[in-house]
Amino acid sequence: MTITASQVKDLRERTGLGMMECKAALTETGGDIEGAIDLLRKKVGAKVEKKAHRTAAEGAVAIHVDASGHVAALVEVNSETDFVAKDEHFMQYALAVARTVVAHDPRDVAALSALAIDGGNVSVGQGRNDLVSKFGENINIRRFSRYVTTGRIGRYLHGRRIGVLVELTNADETLARDLAMHIAASRPAYIARQDVPADVLAKEREIFLAQGAESGKPRDILERMVTGKVAKFVNEITLLGQVFVKDPDTTIEKLLERTGAKVVRFVRYEVGEGIERSATDFASEVMAQVKGV
C-alpha cells in the first residue's frame, strides 16, 4: 500500500512526531491513521527512555512571578540542541513549569513532574514526554528555585540563557531590577565576605603564596601582597564587594547603604553551566541519526 504525503502530514500534525516515524507507523497499520496513533503512543514511552542518556546541555531558563509579586520561581529546562530550545513550544513549556512551581511549591523535580500544568489534565512529566516525542531529543527539567517573601523580588532574564531572582528588603522595583541585572552580568558567588567558606579563602591564599614565592621577596612583604590579593578576590566573588555595573564609581555595598536596602538572597541560573558536554561533532551526530533512520 502506498502511503501518501497528505497522510503523513495529517499524522504529524496530530502527534507532533517526525516524518519518518509517522510514515513507518502508517505503513505498519496499512494507512490506518487512528491505528497509527495508537501504535505511536505505545512506542513513545520506550522512545523517551532511549533518549534519557543523551546529554541535554542546551535549553532555556524561565521566570514566573505571581500577581502579588511576593512569590516567584526560576527554572532551567534543558534540551540537546539550541534549535529546539528556541522553539515556541519548548519556551511555553518552560514557562508552564515555572507557573507550576509558583502554584504548588514542589519539593523536588520528581514531585514537580507529577503535578498538573495549570490545573489541567496534562502533568509536567507528560508535557516533557510530549516534547521528547515531538522533537526527538532528550529534554529534562534540571533545577528550580522558588522564593516567597514579604519584601521585594527582583528578576531579570537575559535572553533565554541567564535568569536571576534576588530577594530584598526596603527596596523599590527599580533597585530590585538593577541588582538582578548586575548579578546576571557579574555572577557573584556569595553575598558578603562572611559567606565565603574558609576553605575557599585558604585555597586562594595558598595559590597566591605559591605564586609569590618565586619572586624572592621577603616573607613580610609577601604576606602583605597575598593579603591584598585575597581581599581583591573576595570583592570579585561577593555581591557587596563588586563594583556596580551601572556606576563604576560605587560598590553594591555602598549602593545598598545609600538606599537602606538589604539583599536577603539571590539565585542565578545559566543554561548548561556545570554540564559536561559531549565532544561528538555535529556532522557525526547527524550521520548517526540518518543511519538510525
Do 58 and 133 lie in one domain? The reply is: yes
Q: How far apart are CA 244 and CA 136, in angstroms?
A: 43
Residue 240 resides in a domain? no
- Position 244 scores a pLDDT of 97
Can you read off the three cell numbers belonging to residue 40? 505511536
Residue 194 is predicted with a pLDDT of: 96
Whether residues 62 and 96 share a domain: the answer is: yes
Per-residue confidence (pLDDT) for residue 274, from 0 to 100: 81
CATH number at residue 125: 3.30.479.20
Q: What percent of the chain has pLDDT over 70?
A: 87
What pLDDT, on the 0 to 100 scale, is given for residue 51?
56
Q: Provide the pLDDT confidence category of residue 52 given band limits of 50, 70 and 90.
A: low
Please indicate, yes or no, if residue 181 is contained in any of the structural domains.
Answer: no
Last residue in a domain, options 148, 180, 212: 148
Task: State mean pLDDT over 234-249.
Answer: 96
Residue 144 lies in a domain: yes
Show the domain range for 110. 52-148
Do 78 and 42 have their domain in common? no
Same domain, 71 and 47: no
Give the residue-averaged pLDDT of 18-37: 85
Whether residues 97 and 60 share a domain: the answer is yes
Residue at a domain's end among 148, 181, 205: 148
Q: What is the pLDDT of residue 43?
A: 67
Average pLDDT over residues 217-228: 84
pLDDT > 90? residue 55: no
pLDDT for res 289: 47
Q: Are 1 and 30 in contact (CB under 8 A)?
A: yes
Residue 5 clears pLDDT 90, i.e. is over it: no
Is 291 domain-assigned?
A: no
Which range of 14-23, 78-87, 221-230 scores highest in mean pLDDT? It is 78-87
Label residue 47 by pLDDT band (50, 70, 90).
low
Do 40 and 57 lie in one domain? The reply is no
Confidence of residue 280 (pLDDT cuts 50, 70, 90): very low
**CATH code for the domain of 39:** 1.10.8.10
**Is the pLDDT confidence value at 273 over 60?**
yes
Q: Is 114 part of any domain? A: yes
Flag whether pLDDT at 288 surpasses 70.
Answer: no
Residues 83-105 have a mean pLDDT of 97
Contacts of 270 (CB under 8 A, 6+ apart): 61, 161, 162, 187
Q: Is 223's pLDDT higher than 70?
A: yes
- Asked, for residue 224, whether it belongs to a domain, the answer is no
Q: Which of 148, 168, 194 is the C-terminal boundary of a domain? A: 148
Residue 136 and residue 61 share a domain: yes
Together in a domain, 57 and 109: yes
> Total domain count for the chain?
2
34, part of any domain: yes
**Is the pTM here over 0.95, yes or no?**
no
**Shared domain check, 119 and 36:** no
